[in-house]
Amino acid sequence: MKETHWLNWLIRTATTWGDIHSVVEETGVDSLDASHRELIKYALDLNRLIVMIDSENFDVNLVKDKKEKLEILQQFAIRKYEEEERLIEKNNLPGLEKQKTEHFRILKNIDDAIKDFSDGKIKELRVFEGAFLETVIYHIKGSDRQTFRLENWKESILNSASWRDLTDCTREMGMPELDQEHRDILDRILKVDKIIEQYGGKALEEPGKGVVAEYFDSLGKLVKSHFSNEESFISTFDTVGLGAVKKERLLYITNLEKNRSNALSGVTKISPELKYNLVFQWIAHINTVDYGKLRKELWWEKILINATHMKDISFLIKKTGLAEVDEAFGKALAASFELNRFFGEVAEKDGALITNLMVEKQFEELIDSVKELFDIEEKFMTGNGLEGIESHMVSHRKILDGITRYRVDFHQDRIAISAKMKVHILGALINHLDDEDIQMFNSLGDR
Ligand SMILES: [Fe+2]
Ligand SMILES: [Fe+2]
Ligand SMILES: [Fe+2]
């Protein structure tokens, strides 16, 4: 009960993602968790505006702005819930009807709010916002967590032939190399299909025994080398203590060995159930063990702070697969590094002739390169009629506004170039690439 009180208080008073993220539960499905974060950010954005509308300096433009924001929220929510329902249907996950009912109610709330707003009932919005956030957060906590539990993906796991069939329920760490190893090992595990096809349902004899032993041995080798790569990543970037990690890894290896001897001795039948168990255990390694220790937010700021050149972060940069976009993205990152160089040099070189003018010129270059990147993207999105262009463009505008604000503040002597600024700019760009660009441009491949 006490916990509910706390939760409700937090929901009613939150104005930033930082205030509230600790109570927004995760479903374990990356795309869903990202869209929940987005949805809630839109709602919080509205919250901040309402405060201004309520204050003395009431401005008609704010009202217009607010209506626009409500409509963006609506558009985003409609798309988000459609996607969610598609995901449930595609993977035959439980609870579709309940989900649909609750989604419908959430969407109706938004629709009612827009109607109220159009009728001039501005004050009603405050009620809407508290209620909206509450419903969304409780929906995630209840139905979404129920529907998307890893245990519910059994059918998809049994039907899968490649890691591509399981991307929806497999988390990513944000480290392209390690993520790729996760996929490769998943593919290796799925080779069990061939063994099941050949030796399933019979008592295992030679040469079947040899094949099964060889399967487990080569899998074990791959897994061990993956674990040692993860450990060296952890020690290089000093992300978490190694002790606990090693223990968890050891447990996985022990389990795999148990699977091996059980399969060889006939205790475990060579059957789809074996496939399910092996895949489930691997995804659990990724989604819980690795996610707890290796997820991006645990290490990536540290890497950005220490980075001085593109090469320091290039292993982190994903590719959209569109050469033009990837190239423009690289240029934008390089320009933010260039800007930061002034920070180090001004500080170190005596009487270095780095003038404000030079810094401002570099700001211009950065802004130009980011604009160019976004132009290329937007032209491409429009040209291909991709879904979600509007909210994607809002994100672009936010990033550009952020950088422009830095430039203005620098010009007015309110801010100095610093490593923090670099982290913000690089972070905004890379996060956008990871969360929105990759999703948007990868959807091209699905069609
Ligand atoms: Fe849902
Ligand atoms: Fe891993
Ligand atoms: Fe973008």
Instruction: Give 289-349 as a DSSP string.
Output: IIHHHH-HHHHHHHHHHH--SHHHHGGG----S-HHHHHHHHHHHHHHHHHHHHHHHHHHS
Alpha carbon 319 to its chain's center:
15
Q: Which ligand neighbours the alpha carbon of 181 most closely?
A: 2
The identity of residue 62, as a single letter, is L
DSSP 411: H
Q: What is the pLDDT of residues 220-248, one digit of tens each?
A: 999 999 999 998 888 887 666 677 778 88
What separation in Å is there between the alpha carbon of 271 and the centre of ligand 2? 25
Q: Are residues 164 and 251 in the same domain?
A: yes
For residue 349, the domain's CATH number is 1.20.120.50
Q: Which ligand neighbours the alpha carbon of 186 most closely?
A: 2
Q: What is the mean pLDDT of residues 195-210?
A: 86
Q: Are residues 287 and 366 in the same domain?
A: no
Q: What is the pLDDT of residue 416?
A: 75
Q: Which ligand neighbours the alpha carbon of 184 most closely?
A: 2
Q: Are residues 163 and 273 in the same domain?
A: yes
Alpha carbon 218 to its chain's center:
32
Q: What is the pLDDT of residues 312-355, one digit of tens each?
A: 888 888 888 899 999 999 999 999 988 887 766 554 554 555 57
What separation in Å is there between the alpha carbon of 202 and the centre of ligand 2? 33
Q: Are residues 166 and 248 in the same domain?
A: yes
Q: Which ligand neighbours the alpha carbon of 322 most closely?
A: 3
Q: Are residues 180 and 281 in the same domain?
A: yes
Enter the tokens of residue 149: 């539990």
Q: What is the pLDDT of residue 446?
A: 47
In a domain, 132, yes or no: yes
Q: Which ligand neighbours the alpha carbon of 439 most closely?
A: 3
Q: Nearest Cα to 431, choosing from 275, 303, 312, 317?
A: 317
Q: What is the pLDDT of residues 99-151, one digit of tens each?
A: 999 999 999 988 888 888 778 777 666 667 677 888 899 999 999 999 999 99
Burial 166-193 (b: 16+ CB within 10 A, else e): bbbbbbbbbbeebbebbbebbebbbebe
The last residue of a domain, from among 123, 148, 173? 148
Contacts of 20 (CB under 8 A, 6+ apart): 10, 11, 14, 40, 44, 133, 137
Q: What is the pLDDT of residues 274-320, one digit of tens each?
A: 999 999 999 999 999 899 888 888 888 888 888 888 888 888 888 88
Cβ atoms of 378 and 396 closer than 8 Å: yes
What separation in Å is there between the alpha carbon of 444 and the centre of ligand 2? 28
What is the full DSSP assignment across 103-147? HHHHHHHHHHHHHHHHTT--THHHHHHHHHHHHHHHHIIIIIHHH
Enter the tokens of residue 313: 């972060």
**Cα 409 to Cα 78: distance, rounded to the nearest angstrom:** 38
Give the rounded percent of residues in the chain with a pLDDT score beyond 70.
90
Q: Is the Cα dihedral 72, 33, 274, 175 positive or negative?
A: positive
In a domain, 302, yes or no: no
Q: Are residues 143 and 159 in the same domain?
A: no
In a domain, 193, yes or no: yes
What separation in Å is there between the alpha carbon of 220 and the centre of ligand 2? 13
Q: What is the pLDDT of residue 252?
A: 94
**Cα 392 to Cα 386: distance, rounded to the nearest angstrom:** 10
**Cα 92 to Cα 346: distance, rounded to the nearest angstrom:** 59
Q: Are residues 432 and 337 in the same domain?
A: yes
**Cα 288 to Cα 318: distance, rounded to the nearest angstrom:** 23
Alpha carbon 406 to its chain's center:
26
Neighbour tally for 350: CB within 10 Å: 4
What's the length of the chain? 447
Q: Are residues 11 and 142 in the same domain?
A: yes
The identity of residue 197, as a single letter, is E
Q: Are residues 203 and 252 in the same domain?
A: yes
Neighbour tally for 275: CB within 10 Å: 21
Q: Nearest Cα to 408, choosing from 368, 369, 370, 356?
A: 356
Chain mean pLDDT for the chain = 86
What separation in Å is there between the alpha carbon of 290 and the centre of ligand 2? 6
Cβ atoms of 192 and 274 closer than 8 Å: yes
Q: Are residues 245 and 340 in the same domain?
A: no
**Cα 2 to Cα 357: distance, rounded to the nearest angstrom:** 57
Cβ atoms of 46 and 70 closer than 8 Å: yes
In a domain, 365, yes or no: yes
Question: Which range of residues forms the domain containing residue 75?
Answer: 2-148
Q: Which ligand neighbours the alpha carbon of 291 most closely?
A: 2
Neighbour tally for 247: CB within 10 Å: 10
Q: What is the pLDDT of residues 37-79, one digit of tens each?
A: 989 988 887 777 666 666 656 666 666 777 788 888 899 999 9
The domain tally of the chain equals 3
Q: Are residues 164 and 143 in the same domain?
A: no
Enter the tokens of residue 340: 């930061």
Cβ atoms of 172 and 30 closer than 8 Å: yes
**Cα 176 to Cα 318: distance, rounded to the nearest angstrom:** 7
Q: What is the mean pLDDT of residues 206-223?
A: 94
Q: What is the pLDDT of residue 353?
A: 56
**Cα 391 to Cα 437: distance, rounded to the nearest angstrom:** 12
In a domain, 413, yes or no: yes
Q: What is the pLDDT of residue 303?
A: 87
Answer whether residue 388 shows pLDDT above 70.
Answer: yes
The last residue of a domain, from among 260, 295, 330? 295
What separation in Å is there between the alpha carbon of 332 and the centre of ligand 3? 12
In a domain, 12, yes or no: yes
In a domain, 301, yes or no: no
The last residue of a domain, from among 148, 181, 208? 148
**Cα 252 to Cα 287: distance, rounded to the nearest angstrom:** 13
Q: Are residues 11 and 140 in the same domain?
A: yes
What separation in Å is there between the alpha carbon of 80 and the centre of ligand 1? 9
Q: Which ligand neighbours the alpha carbon of 429 most closely?
A: 3
In a domain, 380, yes or no: yes
Q: Nearest Cα to 274, choosing from 222, 197, 210, 220?
A: 197
What separation in Å is there between the alpha carbon of 173 and the centre of ligand 1? 23
Who wins on pLDDT, 234 or 217?
A: 217
Answer whether residue 400 shows pLDDT above 90.
Answer: yes
Q: What is the pLDDT of residue 447?
A: 45
What separation in Å is there between the alpha carbon of 402 and the centre of ligand 3? 15
Q: Model confidence at 3, in pLDDT bands (50, 70, 90)?
A: confident
What separation in Å is there between the alpha carbon of 246 and the centre of ligand 2? 12
Cβ atoms of 169 and 283 closer than 8 Å: yes
